[in-house]
Structure 1
Amino acid sequence: MMKRIILNALIILIVIFTTGCTSIADTVDTPLYSGKSLSLGVVGEIPKIREEHVHFTNISFDELEDYSTLSSKYDAVVIMKEHLQEADDNKYIKVYTNAGVPFFFIEATKSFMPFVLEDVSFEHSSLTNFNYDMYVTGYFQTGEAYKSWGYGLYNDKVNEPNIKDVYSRIFTTIESIENGTYK
């Protein structure tokens, strides 16, 4: 009887320890973005974030086409995974290359290229990020110069804390773009 109690207690301790270690290993505790307030346009569902001074506004692809006003309304535009296939339509290339704001493509594992190169389809593209573990791809162009970013998840684990961490890092990148140029 005593052996059984000790064995059950040992099993419970092992389960608790293993579960605790797994959750710690799968997430990272990173600082919140603490920079200036940001206003972002989002095509798709507004993501869950940790920061209270970052505000999202739902926008449509029709609104994107009027790209001359995007930089006066938003610090950046986020396009969610469900809309990536539509986002790679050739008619939006002018938007991404002339809007004067950065674009962030959520779960775009095939780099930014399908969005800014004619006749390169997101769905059929063999182009991938240089690192295969990117969760978000960012792109910003001013004139002929452009900058791109890739954001991975901690330990490649898709979970809420890791996704919120990626957004905090994106916000820091957005803040580093001042007056249409990357610092």
Structure 2
Amino acid sequence: MKKRLFACLVTVTALAGCGADQTEEMKSPKYDGDRLQVAVVGKQPTVREDNVRFTSVSLQELTPTARISSEFDAVFIMKDHLKEADQEQYVRVYKNLRIPTFFIGSTKGYLPFVMKELTYEAAGDNAQSYAFGYLHGKKELSWEYGLYNDINTDAHITALYSDVFRTIDSVKNDRQR
């Protein structure tokens, strides 16, 4: 009887620990840097920062790239516009922008958007990621962002945006030096 009770207690304890990390919410600081201006193709994201301003633009409005690069600190292309953003005519746009472009909700990386021969549909999935960033400057830079514990919650998405804003701020500060 004691062995069964001990075995039950060990099992219950082990099972209780299995889900602890899954339900735990991430404690992520808000972005508190300089004010950022972000152009958004698609629905503007909900964020917790007050120092980030979004302006809705269409893909066609990303040209001329010099104007967009001077008015904004980054471009977000939201999930509902990724297939359209993959069109060949935009490859040159992403490569000519002097600010980072972030593909939000993409599980296929940034390569389908910057390589003419690779389509979004044909690209392989990267299910652990939620957003990818790209900047073609003196050297090519890219970033990849995943959700905390790979769990899609509003809290995890807003934490991810804070990380993206820190990246944008870092690129912006590097450009100003």
Q: Same fold (TM over 0.5)?
A: yes
1:150 partner letter: E
SS in 1 for 2:92: helix
Deviations 1:67-99 (A, max 9, x none): 121111100000000000010111011111111
Q: Give the conservation status (yes or no) of the 8 Å contact 1:38–1:75.
A: yes
Summarize the alignment of residues 127-142 of structure 1 with structure 2, pairs less than 5 Å apart.
128-129=125-126, 132-142=127-137
* Larger strand proportion of the pair: 1
Q: Give the conservation status (yes or no) of the 8 Å contact 1:65–1:92.
A: no
Q: TM-score, normalised by structure 2?
A: 0.83
Alignment RMSD, CA only? Answer: 2.1
1:177 matched to 2:171: yes
1:151 matched to 2:145: yes
Deviation at 1:44, TM superposition (A): 0.3
Deviation at 1:59, TM superposition (A): 0.3
Summarize the alignment of residues 84-103 of structure 1 with structure 2, pairs less than 5 Å apart.
84-103=82-101
Aligned residue pair count? 160
For residue 160 of structure 1, the aligned residue among 137, 149, 154 is: 154
Q: Distance in 2 between matches of 1:181 and 1:148?
A: 16
- C-alpha spacing 1:32/1:22, structure 2 compared with 1 (3 Å): same
Summarize the alignment of residues 13-162 of structure 1 with structure 2, pairs less than 5 Å apart.
25-126=23-124, 128-129=125-126, 132-143=127-138, 145-162=139-156
SS in 1 for 2:130: strand
Q: Distance in 2 between matches of 1:168 and 1:177?
A: 14
Q: TM-score, normalised by structure 1?
A: 0.81
1:139 partner letter: Y
Q: Distance in 2 between matches of 1:43 and 1:119?
A: 23
Structure 1 segments, 4+ long, off by >4 Å, are 21-24, 179-183
Gaps (5+ residues) in structure 2? Answer: 1-15
Q: Distance in 2 between matches of 1:80 and 1:111?
A: 13
Query: Percent of aligned pairs with the same residue?
Result: 39
